Structure formats: C-alpha cells, structure tokens
Structure 1
Amino acid sequence: MTHRPGPVARVCPDCDGFPVVAITTGTLHADGSRHVVPALCRACKGTGTRTARRPAPAPAGR
C-alpha cells in the first residue's frame, strides 16, 4: 500500500513563505544592539500561505 502525501502547502506568492521580516532602523540600543521593527506580509497577514482570492466583480452590463 502506498503512502499518499497530504495536501500541498500553498506558499504566498508575495512573500515566498517568509511572512515576517525584521527591518533595522539604523539606531542602536545602549547595549550596542540594533533596533529592529517586525513587518508582516500584507497579502497573507503573516501566515505565509496563500489565501483564497475573491473573484473580480463582474462588469455591469446594459
């Protein structure tokens, strides 16, 4: 009996699966370490996986 793999993880196309990054501000703390600010991917909201996209609205006809 063969093993069937589970569903394939869908990686966010905007962040390539790296949803949280640390951006340095250039300032230093008193101990010499850098001050960093975390930033989340706006598309996946920090999950790293693709979210279901809403279909585009249909153009109104006459």
Structure 2
Amino acid sequence: MAHPTPATPRICPACDGFASAAITLGGRDARGHLRTITAHCPSCHGTGTATARRDREGARA
C-alpha cells in the first residue's frame, strides 16, 4: 500500500531558503571575538518558507 507523501515546504523566493545570515561588523572586541549581527529576510521574517498563495476567483491569468 502506498503511503501519502508529505507536502514539500514552499521555499521563500526572496532568500531561497537561507533566511538568516551572520554579518561581521569588522574588527574584534576586547576578547578577540568577531563582532557580528544577524540579518533576517524581510519577506519571510527569518523562517525560510513562504505562505501558500490563494488565487483569486475570477482573476485574469
């Protein structure tokens, strides 16, 4: 008996699934560690997936 396959998650088209990135600010702190910030994708808010779009009824193709 065949098992149903789960739906694949929709990957965000803006970031291609790489929703967060660590960016160095340049230089090091007093302990020698790199100073970094985390930037999140503004489209998916750091999740890497996009919500399903519903097509409007009667919309033009």
Partners in 2 of 1:51 and 1:38 — Cα distance? 23
Structure 1 consecutive aligned stretches of length 4 or more whose deviation exceeds 3 Å: 52-55
5+ residue gaps in structure 2?
56-61
> Could you say which residue in structure 2 is the equivalent of 1:48?
48
Distance 1:7 1:53, change over 3 A: closer
Count, aligned residues: 55
2:31 maps to amino acid: D
Q: Percent identity?
A: 47
> Deviation of residue 27 (structure 1)?
2.2
Cα-Cα RMSD: 1.9
Distance 1:54 1:2, change over 3 A: closer
> Could you say which residue in structure 1 is the equivalent of 2:6?
6
> Deviation of residue 29 (structure 1)?
1.1
> Could you say which residue in structure 2 is the equivalent of 1:38?
38
Partners in 2 of 1:27 and 1:54 — Cα distance? 47
Query: TM-score scaled to structure 1, two decimals?
Result: 0.76
